[in-house]
Structure 1
Amino acid sequence: MSDIRRNHRRLRLATGLIGAVALFGGGVAFGSYLAEDDRKSAEAARLSSVRTHDLGEITVTPQQEQAARASLASRVGVDEATRTAVAAVPGPATAAELRTEQGGLVWEVEVLDGDDVWHAVTVDAGTGRVLRSRADFQDDDAAANARAAKAALVPLPDAVDVAVAAVGGGAVTSAELDAEFRDGVRLHWKVEVQGVDARQHDVFVDAVVGRVLDSRVGADT
């Protein structure tokens, strides 16, 4: 996994914890000005409309079954989620992931704004509305990651279209920009597609010319 994705997965955990404190800790401002019913309404407004119980009974394993049911439950695709996120924070999107958050299904999209600040934009997987947008902590690799984002001539939605066509159709559950490929440096998109053949495909698309570099079957490839 590249530094681009590794850094943002680490940041996602940190910002997720901060978000949990903001939602459930009450906070001085909320505690002072909102009654209990109003506080609950404010919290509910920031949760996804697609609840995890909509997915039915999901076993802990295999991961592919979880991805399949999640992709079926999501009424908003990666293209729409990415467009919504970029409309909220103009700039290149470098990752989009369908995931569960606080009992709901959401897309989390990573966007670099015009000031080279990274943002995590959370989009409701049922309605397509922005639930939350927050600036990520900028670490020592932020500048290098920003350069990589700007060097990707093929945007995320276009890479997704290429990947889905390569496997004959399906639903995308994640897409991310990566700089490492086969022990070398090559800017590319890794797109995970739940195919119409009921298998998960990992498709690698060149981020400069837009051609498929490789396609593999299986969640753990």
Structure 2
Amino acid sequence: MQARQTQRGPGWSRQADPQALSSNGAGIDYHAPCRRNAFEPTALFDVAGRLFLADGPININQVNATARAKSARDSKPAVLVDLPNYMWNHATKYWWESQASRDWRFRRYPNHDLLSGKVLGTPWTAPVWKKLLRLPELTWLLDHRIGGQVLFPAAGYIAMAVEAAFRMGQLRGFIDQNLQVHNVAYRLRNVTFMKAMVLEEGTDQRIMLTLTPEDERADS
């Protein structure tokens, strides 16, 4: 248990040296209610608070009591009720939000079974989608077997590209906002499937789709 010493009285010049107390091994935590160049009530309340935290013999209610209260029980916080309304100034906007946060708060499209959702923060001029394929969630893929292996169908790639093109077209104003994905005609060119994607039960497969302009001068 650590001993505590509290000096009473205005004699700040008689303060003990905490370093000397520590070097002598006294183990005394020293606090003075009056200190040089310090506002006296602040120093006094500081000592009272430290004694209360140290479970010292102090009546904290009496410390917090107002001068007009007859006792600590009668002391209640005073509330100012006649202050003028604060003049709020909303001319300057300090709110800053990242593109990823705006994408999350104002997301328009639900997650697609194959496409999922757009990667937060990627621009609609070159959007990116990422999906983690799990066979238990897409059981219809189990029916697409070749040679005993479950392969991701070529129609799935085309469906992803069509859905992604539709969403990007609507968000960039190329497609009417009232149309659905099946109301728009699409033309696919130079479609090549370089390698089959094998799906295994119990193993997740990550797929990503990126739409980029045909060249730096095009907006498609």
User: TM-score, normalising length from structure 1?
Assistant: 0.19
Higher strand proportion (structure 1 or 2): 1
Say which structure, 1 or 2, has more relative contact order (CA 8 Å, 6+ apart).
Answer: 1
